[in-house]
Amino acid sequence: MAKAKQLAADLAKPSPLEYHALKLLAKDAEKLRDQLTAGQGQEIDFTVHITGSIGVGEDNQYDASESPKLIDVLAILLGKAGEQRRQTITDILETAYRDGQRTVPTEEAVQAAEAVILRCTHNTTKTRRGNVTGSLKIQKLAAR
C-alpha cells in the first residue's frame, strides 16, 4: 500500500521538462515583483494550462584555467606558519585594510604575487550545460 501511495505521489509530480517550463515562465515574475504586496502567509490556489515547446541545447566542453582562491591561499599560509608568524601575517593584513582603507602594494610585491599565482594555476576542461529555451503560453484556468 505504501508503494502504491509513493507511486501515485511520484506520478503527480511534474516531469523534469515540465519543471523547466515552469522555470522559463517564472523569469517573467521578476518584472512583476513591484506589483506584490508585502506580507507573510498569502494563500494561493490556482490551476494553469501550459502549452508550447522547449529546446534543450547540447552540453559542450571548454577550456578553463583555475587559479587558487584567496581563502585557500591564506588558510595554507596560516596553517603552515607558527603562532608568531601567523600573528605577524594577521597584523600586516589588518593594518593594510584598517578602517576600510587599502594599502597599495609595491609593484615588486604585485609581480611576485602574480608569479606565484601563475605557478599555481592549472588548465582544465569543464562542461557547460546546454541552454534550455522555450516558446510557451500560459493560461489560467477557471477556479474550481
Question: In this structure, how many other beta carbons lie within 10 angstroms of the beta carbon of residue 21?
Answer: 21
Split at pLDDT 50, 70, 90, the class of 28 is confident
pLDDT at res. 7? 58
| Predicted confidence (pLDDT) at residue 27 exceeds the cutoff of 90 | no
pLDDT at res. 113? 94
| Predicted confidence (pLDDT) at residue 144 exceeds the cutoff of 70 | no
Q: Give the chain's radius of gyration (CA, Å).
A: 27
- Sole residue written with cell 584567496: 70
Split at pLDDT 50, 70, 90, the class of 57 is very high
Q: Which amino acid type is present at position 14?
A: P
Q: pLDDT of 87-96, one tens digit each?
A: 999 999 998 8
- Crossing angle of helices 70-80 and 83-96, in 10° steps, is 140
Q: pLDDT of 105-140, one tens digit each?
A: 899 999 999 999 999 999 999 999 999 999 999 998
**What is the rounded average pLDDT for all residues in the chain?**
89
Residue 46, Cα to own-chain centre: how many angstroms?
A: 30
Looking at the chain, the whole-number percentage of residues with pLDDT higher than 90 is 65
Q: In whole angstroms, what is the distance from residue 17 CA to residue 101 CA?
A: 50
Question: Quick one: cell of 2?
Answer: 505504501
Segment 45-51 long-range contacts (CB within 8 Å, at least 24 positions apart): 46/140, 46/141, 46/143, 47/140, 47/141, 47/144, 48/138, 48/139, 48/140, 48/141, 49/138, 49/139, 49/141, 50/18, 50/21, 50/22, 50/25, 50/136, 50/137, 50/138, 50/139, 51/136, 51/137, 51/139
